[in-house]
Chain A
Amino acid sequence: MSATRRITYREAVREALREALLRDPRVFLMGEDVGRYGGAYACSSGLLAEFGEERIRDTPLSESAFVGAGIGAAIGGMRPIVEVMTINFSLLALDQIVNNAATLRHMSGGQIAVPVVIRMATGAGRQLAAQHSHSLECWYAHVPGIRAVAPATIADARGMLWTALQEPNPVVIFEHATLYSDEGEVPAGGEFAVDIDRAAIRRAGADLSLITYGGSLKKALAAAETLAGERIDCEVIDLRTLRPLDEETLLASVRRTHRALIVDEGWRSGSLAGEIAARIAEQAFFDLDAPVRRVCSAEVPIPYPRHLEEAATPQVDTIVAAARGLMRR
Chain B
Amino acid sequence: MSIAATFEIEYLQYLDPEGKPVRKDFPEFTRDLDHMVELYKLMVSTRVFDTKSIALQRTGKLGTYASCLGHEAAHVGIGSAMRREDVLAPSYREYGAQLYRGVQPREVYLYWGGDERGNDFQNAPKHDFAWSVPIGTQCLHAAGAALAFKIRGEQRVAVCTIGDGGSSKGDFYGAINIAGAQNLPLVAVIVNNQWAISVPRRIQTGAKTLAQKGLAAGLFAIQVDGNDIIAVRKAMDDALARARSGQGGTVIEAVTYRLGDHTTADDARRYRSEAEVKEAWTRDPVKRLRAWLESKKAWDAKKEEAWKAECEAWMDEEVNAYLKTRAQPVEAMFDYLYAELPADLAQQREQAIALERGH
- A contact residues vs B (CB 8 Å cutoff): 32-33, 35-38, 58-62, 64-65, 88-89, 92, 127-132, 298-301, 303-308, 311-312, 318
**Given A37-B197, A129-B116 in contact, is the A61-B348 Cβ separation under 8 Å?**
no
Show 7 A/B contacts (Cβ-Cβ < 8 Å), sorted by A.
Answer: A38-B270, A61-B163, A88-B134, A89-B135, A300-B345, A305-B328, A307-B327
CB distance from B359 to the nearest CB of A (A): 8
Q: Apart from A61-B135, A131-B134, list 12 A-B contacts with CB within 8 A.
A: A35-B199, A37-B270, A60-B165, A61-B169, A129-B114, A129-B133, A132-B133, A298-B348, A300-B334, A304-B115, A311-B352, A312-B333
Pairwise interchain contact A61-B166, C-beta atoms closer than 8 A: yes
Q: Chain A interface secondary structure, helix, strand, loop or mixed? A: loop
Of the four ranges (under 10, 10 to 19, 20 to 34, 35 or more), the interface on chain B belongs to 35 or more
Pairwise interchain contact A36-B271, C-beta atoms closer than 8 A: yes
CB distance from A129 to the nearest CB of B (A): 7
Cross-chain contact of A299 among B115, B196, B327, B345 (Cβ < 8 A): B345
CB distance from A96 to the nearest CB of B (A): 11
Report the nearest B residue to A268, measured CB to CB: B348
Write out, one digit per residue, whether chain B residues 148-183 have a CB within 8 A of any chain A CB (1) or not (0): 000000000000000101101110000000000000
CB distance from A53 to the nearest CB of B (A): 10
Pairwise interchain contact A60-B352, C-beta atoms closer than 8 A: no
**Which chain A residues lie closer than 8 Å to B333 at the CB level?**
298, 300, 303, 308, 311-312
The 8 A-B pairs of least Cβ separation, nearest first, read A37-B198, A60-B168, A61-B165, A36-B271, A300-B333, A303-B333, A61-B168, A304-B114
Distance, CA A49 to CA B96, complexed state (A)? 38
Among B294-338, those with CB < 8 Å from A are 327-328, 330, 332-334, 337
**Given A58-B198, A300-B337 in contact, is the A37-B271 Cβ separation under 8 Å?**
yes
**Which chain B residues lie closer than 8 Å to A304 at the CB level?**
114-116
Pairwise interchain contact A59-B116, C-beta atoms closer than 8 A: no
CB distance from A64 to the nearest CB of B (A): 6
Report the nearest A residue to B267, measured CB to CB: A37
Q: Tell me if B204 counts as interface (CB < 8 A to partner A).
A: yes
Distance, CA A318 to CA B352, complexed state (A)? 11
CB distance from B175 to the nearest CB of A (A): 14
Pairwise interchain contact B330-A58, C-beta atoms closer than 8 A: no
CB distance from A322 to the nearest CB of B (A): 11
**Given A58-B199, A59-B203 in contact, is the A308-B168 Cβ separation under 8 Å?**
no
Pairwise interchain contact A308-B328, C-beta atoms closer than 8 A: yes
**Which chain A residues lie closer than 8 Å to B133 at the CB level?**
129, 131-132
**Given A129-B116, A131-B133, A304-B114 in contact, is the A60-B271 Cβ separation under 8 Å?**
no
**Which chain B residues lie closer than 8 Å to A299 at the CB level?**
344-345, 348
**Which chain B residues lie closer than 8 Å to A301 at the CB level?**
337
Distance, CA A240 to CA B231, complexed state (A)? 56
Cross-chain contact of B168 among A36, A62, A132, A312 (Cβ < 8 A): A62
**Which chain B residues lie closer than 8 Å to A62 at the CB level?**
168-170
Pairwise interchain contact B352-A36, C-beta atoms closer than 8 A: no
CB distance from A10 to the nearest CB of B (A): 16
**Which chain B residues lie closer than 8 Å to A32 at the CB level?**
196-197, 199
